Structures are given as C-alpha cells and as structure tokens.
Chain A
Amino acid sequence: MLFSLLIAPAAAEAALPPSNPGTPPMSDSPWSLLPAASANAEALDTLYIFFWILCGIAFVGMIGVQAYFMWKYKKPAEGHAKTSPLTHNGKLEFIWSAIPTFFFVILFAWGEIEFMKQATPPPDAMDVRVTGQKWSWTIEYPEVKGCSLTNDLYVPVGKPMRLTMTSVDVIHSFYLPAFRLKKDVVPGRYTVLWFEATKPGLYPLMCTEYCGDEHSSMVGRVHVVAAEEYDAVLAKACELKQGDTESAEDFGARVVVRGGCASCHTTDGTVKTGPSFKGLFGRTETLADGSTVTIDENYIRESILEPNAKIVSGFSPQMPSFAGRFDDKQIAALIAYIKAQK
C-alpha cells in the first residue's frame, strides 16, 4: 500500500477524522476539497474565486451569445437567407480589446502583489533545511541537535518558517497544497520557501517535478501543531531510540519510517526500485558482475552505508547513502526488522 506511510506515525494525529486517515480532511469551502492552512492559502483562495467569477461571466456571456446566434440565424430549410454585409466595427473591436486588457492588468497586479509576499520571508522566520533525493525528503531541524526526519515536516501555528532547500540528484519540487505553495528543489543551488501556518492539522506534502520511477511515492506529511506544543512534539518526533519494552524488530519498523525506506522497498513481495524486504534475508543473489552474494547482516549494513558497492543484477544504483543518518543501534534494529519479513 503506497500511502500506508501516511498513517504510520502516531504523534499528533488526533485531529484527523478516522475515516480519512493521514490525508487532507475535506474543507468547508465549496471551492476546494483542500483546507486552507496558511495566510497565503487564504489570500490566494480569494484571488482564485475572483478569477472564477470573472471567467465564469466571460464564458457564459460568450457562449450565450454564440448559442443565441446559432439558434437565431440558423439557415432556413430551403436555400439561404440573405446575410448581413457587416465586415468590421472599429468601436466594438476597441471595446472588446480594452475590457479584457483592463481585467488582465488587475489579475496581473493582484498576482504580482501576492507573489512578492510569497518571495519575501520575514527576518525572524525559523530555519529548516530540506533535501530532496530519489524518492524522499530529508528535513533537518537546526534547533534540535542532529534531528533529521524523512517526509515529516513539523510546523508551529502562527510562526513563520523558512525552508532552505536543495537536491542531491535531480530536480524535485516541494509542494504544500494546503499552503498553496511550491518551489523547485534544484541540485547545486538553494531555493527558499516560507509560510506561516494558521490551522493545526495533518496535510500532504508532494513532489511535483517528475523525478523518476517513484515520483508518485515522494509524498510526505506536514504536521501543523499549536505553537506551545511545537517544541515537545518535535523533540519526540526527532527521538529515535529503542524503548525500554520495545523489541528490536518494532524499533526497526520505526527506523524504516524515519529513513523513508518504503518509497522503494515493500514488505509484501512487490519489487519496486529496490528489492522487497519480504523473504530477503538469507537469500543468495547474483550481482551485475556475475558473482553471488548472500543477503546477511554484513551485506545489509554495507548496502545502507554504501548502497552502490554491490548491486544485485536487475537493479540500478538509485539508493542514497544513510551513512551519518543512522547509528549502529538503529542499523541493527533495521536488520532485525528485515530478518522478520519472511
């Protein structure tokens, strides 16, 4: 199940209706199923509604006149009616050039004003780093030491946040529909996106620049939480230690979520970009050069830290290295988890 990831983490999801877990709740607005969860989203929805009214009038007016003419001036059953010698009318043509121009200028100016707001983060914005890679988002929070999450963006209500983004491979695009924002994430440079959330909840985050096989799986979660809860929620989310009563396998399942492993590795036997974890451990595989390898603890550890060292025939070198992201205990738990997928 591709989007089962959206259901996985248990923190701060209480606000969601159970029938619709993990995905954006239906909004009250008839204009959109999506909630408007930032100041920018509310401003843009007003502009969008203005556009619909304007274009609705233009469309109905034009098609109405067309339909009327078609009905009124239908050819008689026999022969043709005499038709008008009209070839042009300067006054009419001036009017129908000027009116669209007038409204185009309004749309342009309105769009420009909101765009400049989107492009200008306030100086006191909190900084978060985003790295795109095939096919997950790594999100780092400088205020919590060593905190690096995969596909989970935590945002406090009412405090501006600035994302500084880059990519390690191809171009991705960071899209937050509930905030009506997106920005391309480009290798070799930083791009910036900022917002101020207004409504607590869980919203989707998606990649909108085609980036290869699992582009569709590059979906994450935006957790908007009350400002006073933010530090505690983030600290809890950043913690990745085995609980006192937690088995290595259960802890490993949390590590898998943290690493975003499921965008390429399934547990039901379906082969995506990487091999499925199901029945993986202990198998003997043939590498591209013809030699064979047994999938054991050492092979898995090496594949996490140095993914391109030994690639099984039929797969391509797509996996990023997790060296520095996971410590030994976490890797051990991950191995225990993979072992358990029989």
Chain B
Amino acid sequence: MSSAVQSHDPHPAVEPSYLVSKRGLMSWLVTVDHKRLGLMYLASVMFFFLIAGILAIILRTELFTPDQDFMSAQTYNQVFTLHGAIMVFLFIIPSVPAALGNFLLPLMLGAKDVAFPRLNLLSFYVYSAGAVFLIAAILTSGLDTGWTFYTPYSTSTGTAVITATTGVFIAGFSSILTGLNFVVTVHKMRAPGMNWNRMPLFVWAIYSTAVIQVLATPVLAITLLLLIIERSLGIGIFDPAMGGDPVLFQHFFWFYSHPAVYIMILPGFGIISELVTVHSRKHIFGYKAIALSSVAIAVISFVVWGHHLFVSGQSELAGVLFSFLTFAVGVPTAIKTFSWVATLYKGSIQYNTACWYGMAFLWTFTVGGLTGLPLSTLAIDVHLHDTYFVVAHFHYVMVGGTVVAFIGGLHHWWPKMTGKMFNETAGKIGCLLVFIGFNVTFMTQFFLGHQGMPRRYYAYLPEYQVMHQVSTIGSYILAVGLLWTLIYLVHSLFKGEKAPSNPWGAVSLEWQTQSPPIEHNFHETPHIHGSPYDFPEIDKSGAGGHH
C-alpha cells in the first residue's frame, strides 16, 4: 500500500503489546520502555493540568465581582502563583515532549527505544522529585511570588520560595536530561534510509525543542541557585538593599524563560504539521520551510528575552534591538501558519476530532501570534505591558497553541497509545466546547487589557466587571469541555472499540506497527524509501510536485 515504507510484517499481533508484555506494578516503576514512560508522564502531566486548572477556575470565580469575595489577598496571590508555576513547570513544558515525544520519537524514527533508556527513567523520577518539592512548598507556607519569582520581592517574602525554586531547579534537570536524550536519539537512532529530509515534522519540532532544553535550562538553574544563595546566605546578588541589582534577575530569568516559551510551543507546531497532513491526505506544503523555521525560531528565541523588560528601565537602545529581533521571530512563525493552510489545498479533509483540533489551533494560534505584534512594538507595549492584554496573548499561545495541539495530538495518537478508539461524536462536542469556552475566556481579556486592567489584581475598578464576568463564564465552558474530554477518553479505555494498527491511513512509521505497539516497537527494523507524507490518495498522474 504505502510506497514510503517496506515493512513486511509476517506475524501480526502474535507478540503481546507493550502494555501487557510485562505485568505488575514493579514492571511499570522500573520500566525503561519509552512508551511506558510516555504514559507515566502523560498521567502525571494530566494530574497537574487538572490541579492547576481547578486553581484557574477558583481565580476566575473570585474575579466575578470587582470586590474581594471569598479569598483574601494573600490566598489569591498564592493561587495565581501556583496556577502559573504548576501549569508552566509541571504541565506545559513536559506535556508534549515528555509525554507524546517520549512515546512517539523512537516509533517515528523506526528505533527500538531512545538512545539512553535508563536516563529516560531517571528523567521521570527527577521530574517527580521536582514536583514533590513544589507540592511541599504549597503545603508548608505557600508561594506568593508569581511564577516569575521577581526579585527583590522573592528575596523578601515570607513564603516558601527556597522549597519551590528547588523544585523548579530539579524539574529543570529532568528537562535537560530528556532534551539530551532526544538530541542523541535523533542523531543516532534513525532507521536505515531515514535521512534528515525524511523525518516527520513532529521529530524536527521535538529536536529543535530538545536543543533549546539543553542550552537554556541550565541558565534557569543558575538563576534559581543564585536566588537560593541570596535568600539563605544573605549574599547580595539581586537585592539592592544588599548591593545587588533586581533587574539582573529579570535578564537571567527571561534568558531562560523566553526560549522556554518555544520549548512549550514548538512541539505543538510539530503536532499540527502531522494533523493537517494526515487528515487532509496531502503532502505537507513546504516541508523544508517548516523544518528550518523550527530551527530558526529555536535560534532567534535566545536573543529576544529583553522584550520582557521594555518598561523595566533597560536602555532604550537595548529595547530597540530586542523589539527588532522579536519581530524577526514572527517571520518563520508566519511561514509555518501559511504552510499549514496551504496544505489543505486540494486535499481530502476528514472531519474528525483530531482534525478539528488542528483547525481550531490555526484560529487560536493565529490570534496568539498576531497579538504578539503590538507587544513587540515598543511604544504600544509600554501601554499593554503587564495588563490583561499580555495575559490573553500568552494564554492564546500557550493554551490556544500548545494545549489545543496537545489535546489534538492526544486524540490523533490515542488509538496507537492505548489500542482503543474513542467516540468521535463525543470528541467533536468536546472540541467545540473547548474552542468556544477558550475564546470567550481570553478574547475578552484583550479588551480588558487594552482598557488598562493590570495583571494579578484580586479586586479591580468596577468598569471592568462586565468583561470579567464574560471571561469567567467562558472559563466554566472551557472547564466543562475539558472534563467532558477526560471522561470520554477514560471511558474509551474500558469500553472503546479495538483500534486497528493504522486507523487514519497515515504513512509515518508509528502507524506501521500494531496498536498498541509491541515492546520493541517493530518486528523488523523498517527501511525508509520516501517521505512520511506520501499518501496513497495523492494523484501522481499529473506533472510532479509543482502546480
């Protein structure tokens, strides 16, 4: 059937799948199988997504009226800090790379596992240890610094800053180890015939992400270490009362955390590249442009951190340079978006849940991308900085981008991961609820922000009330959509139909083995002869690749 892969499978489904090849709790706890570790990460990140999501609903409920309702200022500040810290460090950063990436990367490359399976297991436990520290911080005296830990507030507040930053420090090492593992895997573990131009775009995206993880995360580790040293030993690094420089912290922090934004979104780009091709039965438009734009974004992302400091008092010249470089990131991002839309041209688009999430992404991510433009524009950022406009913008990128792509990818690969089909009608209802709820919640926040509503306020001027209420109602719709999705996915584990090995008719390697795959992924090492997007429906009777 497929011209890309010659994988003769002489004995289909005689070997047990990775889920049942070994049994017992210990076989999971000490597994070095990338697929099992992917599932363990998936369960962990979903747990933290649920926790941080509940916190978000609590915040939105408090904001239903302008005055203080049911939370004290201190509680509100702790809740928004935990919402941000858990979402960023324990959910979004590991979501696509550690959960889906772990599961899919070796399968897509035609490998038996990642390059260092034991290191992969270690990464999981390092991540868990980081999470334990963050939870300990919550249970002891809380954390009220915001997820950005800005000094000198973070060096002077009485909350559990040291415990929390230690947690983030440790979780960062998990990110570094996973990134290192993936870089080596992509370089060394590709199946025969899979050159760089034949790798699925998801692999390109995960690869670019892994490079950033390895290069940027140590800077965060150093920064947090300096913060811990300042707090515990009283050495003045950031606190001006001890001779330090508080803005230096912001430079250090964003030197990591801006690339980290791309750690969060690049894997989402990779998922969308897979979804639009497979569900439209078309070769991706502009393979090289999409692959290289991932690399370009990864490189430029290291030199744009100063756009978080336009109003911090940094020099005007620095502001101008960072503004220019920030616009430069917009170009490869625009190229990707146009290429995805162009991929749909003359396709045969199958309306299923995964496809719907891909289409929803094009809407939400485009809004997120375009609203980055006024924030890159120096003079306008002066007005919008630290208002709800910024809150809305990064939620459109992080939730509308990464989370929508993540959920879409979860649906796309769910049959492969679990061996079960979910109910498509339920899936489409969930997608619609998530899409509507998300847009109602955050679209209003652009207007709130432009009208001057600052971030991190538990009480606000009464003019803003109507839009805050619309936003809160939207967040409830979004929550219902996500819970609905959780319910039918879990239901499918028990009652779902058995999944065929290739339900979407995809060509890339993960679909050429049974669902769920056997422990060593493939019965024989696959040999690659063509593109991962060479679908049988493509009309080859015409004149080659151009129109």
Q: A residues within 8 Å of B by Cβ? A: 1-3, 20, 23-24, 26, 32-34, 43-44, 47-48, 51, 55, 58-59, 62-63, 65-66, 69-70, 73-76, 80-89, 92-93, 96-97, 100-101, 104-105, 107-108, 110-119, 169-171, 173, 175, 177, 180-184, 186-189, 191, 204, 206-217, 219, 272-273, 316
Nearest chain B residue, comparing its CB with the CB of A177? B452
Measured CA separation A117–B286 after assembly (Å)? 42
Nearest chain B residue, comparing its CB with the CB of A187? B240
CB pair B150 A86 closer than 8 Å: no
CB pair B454 A44 closer than 8 Å: no
CB pair A44 B379 closer than 8 Å: yes
From 297 to 338 in chain B, residues with beta carbon under 8 angstroms from any chain A beta carbon are 311-313, 316, 319-320, 323-324, 327-328, 330-331, 334-335, 337-338
CB pair A208 B386 closer than 8 Å: yes
Nearest chain B residue, comparing its CB with the CB of A211? B153
Residues of B within 8 A of A213 (CB): 73-74, 77, 144
Nearest chain A residue, comparing its CB with the CB of B334? A100
A88-B288, A170-B150, A170-B153 given; 17 more Cβ-contact pairs under 8 Å:
A32-B450, A84-B282, A84-B547, A85-B538, A87-B283, A92-B342, A101-B331, A108-B327, A111-B377, A115-B382, A171-B150, A181-B382, A182-B385, A186-B240, A210-B456, A215-B73, A217-B459
CB pair A88 B363 closer than 8 Å: no
Binds A, one of B12-20, B113-121, B223-231, B368-376: B368-376
Residues of A within 8 A of B37 (CB): none
Q: How far is the CB of A136 from chain B (nearest CB, A)?
A: 15
CB pair A115 B463 closer than 8 Å: no
Measured as residues with beta carbon below 8 angstroms from the partner, the interface class of chain B is: 35 or more
Residues of B within 8 A of A104 (CB): 327-328, 330-331, 373
Measured CA separation A316–B461 after assembly (Å)? 27
14 contacts between A and B (CB under 8 A): A1-B67, A62-B338, A66-B363, A73-B344, A73-B348, A85-B283, A87-B285, A92-B342, A100-B331, A111-B381, A114-B378, A115-B382, A169-B152, A216-B456
CB pair B346 A73 closer than 8 Å: yes
Residues of A within 8 A of B324 (CB): 108
B125 at the interface (CB under 8 A from A): no
Residues of B within 8 A of A111 (CB): 323, 376-381
Residues of B within 8 A of A48 (CB): 374, 380, 450
Task: Report which of B281, B377, B458, B542 forms a contact with A216, defined as CB distance below 8 A.
Answer: B458
**10 closest pairs, A vs B, by CB?**
A188-B240, A177-B452, A111-B377, A114-B379, A84-B346, A115-B378, A69-B344, A216-B457, A180-B383, A82-B539
Task: Report which of B158, B285, B386, B459 forms a contact with A182, defined as CB distance below 8 A.
Answer: B386
Residues of A within 8 A of B451 (CB): 32-34, 177
B387 at the interface (CB under 8 A from A): yes
CB pair A70 B150 closer than 8 Å: no
Q: Encode contact with A along B268-294: 1 for CB under 8 Å, 0 otherwise.
A: 000000000000111111111100000
CB pair A66 B344 closer than 8 Å: yes
Q: How far is the CB of A265 from chain B (nearest CB, A)?
A: 13
Main secondary structure on A side of the interface with B: mixed
Nearest chain A residue, comparing its CB with the CB of B337? A62
CB pair A182 B377 closer than 8 Å: no
CB pair A83 B320 closer than 8 Å: no
Nearest chain A residue, comparing its CB with the CB of B281? A83
Nearest chain A residue, comparing its CB with the CB of B77? A213
Measured CA separation A210–B386 after assembly (Å)? 9
Measured CA separation A34–B451 after assembly (Å)? 6
Residues of B within 8 A of A80 (CB): 281, 348, 350, 537
Nearest chain A residue, comparing its CB with the CB of B327? A104
CB pair B374 A86 closer than 8 Å: no
B139 at the interface (CB under 8 A from A): no
CB pair A2 B68 closer than 8 Å: yes
